[in-house]
Amino acid sequence: MIFQRAMKRLLSPVCALAALMASAAVSSLEWDFAKTAEDRVFVDVKPTPSRPGVPAGAIALDIKLFEGAASVRAATFHLKIGGDWLAAAQVDTAALATSRLRVPFGNFTPPVGDEPKIDEVRVSVWRSPSPGAGRLAFNSISLAPVSEIAVLSGPAGSWMETLALRVAATLSRSRLDCDLHPSVSAAVKSVPQLVIVPDASSLPANDAELLAGFIRKGGRAIVYYSANPVLSEAFGLRPGAWHGGQPWCAIKPLDEAIPPYPHSTDNTIVPFFDGSASAKVVARFLSPNGAAIMPAVTLTPAGAWFSHIPPLPSPAAAMHLRSVVRKVLPNMACQDLPDPMKPISATELAKFKLRGAWLQNPPGFPGGMQALPEWMKGHGLNALFVRREALGSGEAGVRRFFRMADKAGVGVHLWLNAFEPSSDGRWTVPHGGEARGRRVQELLESIPQDVVGVQLDYVRLPSAEEATAEKMDDISLFVRTFSRMFRSARPGCALSAAVFPTPEAAAKRGQDWPRWVKEEWVDFVSPMIYTESPIAFKRDLALCKAAAPASALVPGIAACADEASPDRDSVRAQLEAATALKGVSFFALDWALGALCGYTDVKP
C-alpha cells in the first residue's frame, strides 16, 4: 500500500531516485515513470508560515497546474518536524485537480499536535499502472489556519469520499477553504462553523445524532440528498419521497443573491415543511420546458438543504455554493473574488471564421430548438454540430429548424459517430474494404439533406491498449473511404473530425489526424482541448499547430457543467491563443455556455 511504504521511508529521506531537493523557490515537480523503475518522485519545500497569532491547522498547496493524472495513482505529504520526518498523509489524485488543496493536521499519521514546528514538507507522487510523464506546479505551500468549513468524507474509497472531493473542489473554485474529515466526530472536534454532508442519505445513525447535537449548540450544516429523519428534525423539515424520472436541467434561484447554474439530474429527495415560517425555498429545479417546480435548495436557521447530490465543480456551481454558504454564514470571512467578468460577446468571437458549438440534446431554455438559431446569432455563433436525435423526429419540425438556421446564418453540421459504441462502451473498427463501405453507406443514409457539413466523432479506438499500426491504418482508410463517398454524394459540404487534443494522444487511440489533414480527406479537425487551464490549452494547441495548418484547426473549448469548465477569464485567454485559427467550437451548448454568454433568461 502506498501509505504504508511512505511511512517506512519517513526516516530514510534518500530514495534510489535522487530527490528533487528544493528551497521555497522551487515551484514544480516533474516525472516520467515510463523512463524509470522507481515508484515515486518527490520535492521538499519549506512552507510559508501561517499568519502571526493564528494557529495553523493544515498544509495548503496552491496548485498552478497538474498534468499527467493517469500516470499517478496517489500523492503523499510528509512533514519534517524538529529535524525528523515524523508524519505522513495520502491524498487521491483527484484532489490534485483542485486549485487549492488542504491537508488538515488531523489527517496525518501519526496525528500532528497543536502548533507543530514544521521545517519542510515533502510532496511525493507515486507511479500508476499506466506509467507516463507529468508535472505538478504550485505557487506555494503554506501552513494554513484551521478552516471554518468541515466536509464529511466518510471512509476511504467510499461514495461519500467521491462526493466530498467534488464539494472540496467546488469550494476551492469559489475561494473558500475547507478541511475533509472521515467522520462527524472528527469534523466537530476541529470546531468549525459549518459542516457539509455530501450525501446525508448514507449517514450512519450515530453521525446523524452528533451532527444534530452540533446544530442544536449553534453550529450550521449544509446537507445534500437527505432522507435522514434525525437531521430533518434538526432542520425543522421532514424528508420527502424520492423523485426519479423527471429530467431537471438547471437550478433556478428565487433569491437575487444566489446565481443559477446548470445541473442535469433525475434523482432528488425534496423536503416537506412542518409549518415553520423560518424555512425558505431559495432555488428550484428547472425542467427542459422552462418550468421551475420542485425545491432544489431550502434555507432554515440550521443551514441549507440541497435536494440533490453535489454537482461537478463547474464555475457556475462554485458561485452558487459560495452564495449559499454566505447565506448560511453571513459573517464568515471570505477571500475576495475577482470583479465579475463581462460576458463573452459576439464581438470577441467575430475574429473567427467558424464560431461553433456542439449540441447533444435539445437546449434547456425557453423556445428549445426553434429558438436556438436566433440565440446563436445573437451571441456570435454561426456553426452548430448537432446529434441527429436532437433535431427531433417530425419531418416538418426538422425542415422548419433548418429554415430558421439558414435565416440566422447558422450552418448545421451533423455530428456522427463513425463507430457506434455498444452498451459496454466498446466498438469494432471495420477491417477490409467491404466492411468499411457498408458502414460508410449506413452513415451517409442518416444525413439530412440541408446540412452544410458532417463531423465524425468516435473515429478512434476504444482504448490505448488496442493501438497497433494495422488498426491505425484501418481507421485512416475508413476516413479516406468516407471522404470520397461523402464528397461524391454531397459536393460542397464540409467534412471534419473531432479528435484527441494532441497528435501524440491521438496516435495512442489510432487517430493519425495530421495525415487526414495533409491528404485533404477532411477540411478541418477539432482537437478536444477541454481544460480550465489557459496554460494547458496553449501547450496542447502549440502541438496541434505544429502538425496542421491554422486553416484546418477548430479547437474545442470546454463550456460544460463539469470540472473542466473554465471561467470567463480563462475562456478569453483560450480565445486569444486561438486567434489565428480557422475557428473555435464550444463543448457543449448548454446552460454553461449560456452563462459564459450572459444568457440567464429563464421562465419563472
Bridge partners of 43, per DSSP, are 20, 123
- Is the alpha carbon torsion for 260, 265, 266, 269 positive or negative? negative
Of 3.30.450.20, 3.20.20.80, 3.40.50.880, 3.30.530.20, the CATH number of 147-333 is 3.40.50.880
Contact yes or no for 585/288 (Cβ under 8 A): no
Q: Quote the pLDDT of residue 117.
A: 85
Q: Quote the pLDDT of residue 276.
A: 60
User: What value does the mean pLDDT take over residues 9-23?
Assistant: 35
Q: In the chain, list all ranges with CATH 3.20.20.80.
A: 346-596
Three cell numbers, residue 279: 424555512
Contact yes or no for 566/526 (Cβ under 8 A): no
Is the pLDDT score of 262 beyond 60?
yes
Give strand ranges (E) for 254-397.
261-273, 280-286, 292-300, 303-306, 354-359, 383-386
d(CA 10, CA 79): 9
Lowest mean pLDDT among 101-110, 158-167, 371-380, 528-537: 101-110
Cis status of the peptide bond prior to 317, with omega within 30 of 0: no
- Kindly list the strands in the beta sheet with 100-104, ordered across the sheet, starting from the edge strand earlier in the chain: 28-32, 133-145, 56-67, 100-104
Q: Quote the pLDDT of residue 176.
A: 86
Is the pLDDT score of 339 beyond 50?
no
Is the pLDDT score of 592 beyond 90?
no
Query: Quick one: pLDDT band at residue 528, thresholds 50, 70, 90?
Result: very high
Helix/strand/coil for 502: coil
Query: Quick one: pLDDT band at residue 274, thresholds 50, 70, 90?
Result: low
Please write the tens of the pLDDT for every residue from 277-316: 688 889 888 776 667 678 889 999 999 999 988 988 877 7
Query: Quick one: pLDDT band at residue 120, thresholds 50, 70, 90?
Result: very high
Q: How far is CA 530 from CA 187, 490, 556, in A?
A: 35, 31, 7
Q: Quote the pLDDT of residue 208.
A: 93
Please write the tens of the pLDDT for every residue from 134-174: 899 988 899 888 788 999 988 878 899 889 988 988 888 78
Q: What is the mean pLDDT of the chain?
A: 83
d(CA 207, CA 219): 15
d(CA 294, CA 270): 7
Contact yes or no for 166/312 (Cβ under 8 A): yes
The highest-level CATH class for domain 1-145 is: mainly beta
Which string of DSSP letters, residue by residue, matches 505-565? HHHTTT--HHHHHHTTSSSEEEEB---S-HHHHHHHHHHHHHHS-GGGB--EEE-SSSTT-
Please write the tens of the pLDDT for every residue from 461-490: 998 788 889 999 999 999 999 999 999 999
Three cell numbers, residue 140: 506555494
Highest mean pLDDT among 17-31, 65-79, 385-399, 521-535: 521-535
- 41 alpha carbon, distance to own chain's centre: 27
Contact yes or no for 165/102 (Cβ under 8 A): no
Is the pLDDT score of 105 beyond 90?
no
Q: How far is CA 118 from CA 36, 47, 82, 280, 384, in A?
A: 31, 8, 7, 46, 55
Cis status of the peptide bond prior to 110, with omega within 30 of 0: yes
User: What value does the mean pLDDT take over residues 524-539?
Assistant: 88
Is the pLDDT score of 602 beyond 50?
no
Three cell numbers, residue 248: 431537471
Q: Quote the pLDDT of residue 529.
A: 93
User: What value does the mean pLDDT take over residues 244-251?
Assistant: 71
Is the pLDDT score of 551 beyond 90?
yes
Is the pLDDT score of 546 beyond 90?
yes
Contact yes or no for 247/219 (Cβ under 8 A): no
Q: In the chain, list all ranges with CATH 3.40.50.880.
A: 147-333
Nearest residue to 529 via CA among 545, 512, 551: 545
Q: In the chain, list all ranges with CATH 2.60.120.
A: 1-145
φ and ψ of 69, to 5 deg: -60, -35
User: What value does the mean pLDDT take over residues 347-372?
Assistant: 84
Domain 346-596 falls under CATH 3.20.20.80: yes
Is the pLDDT score of 442 beyond 80?
yes
Nearest residue to 480 via CA among 444, 522, 508, 443: 522
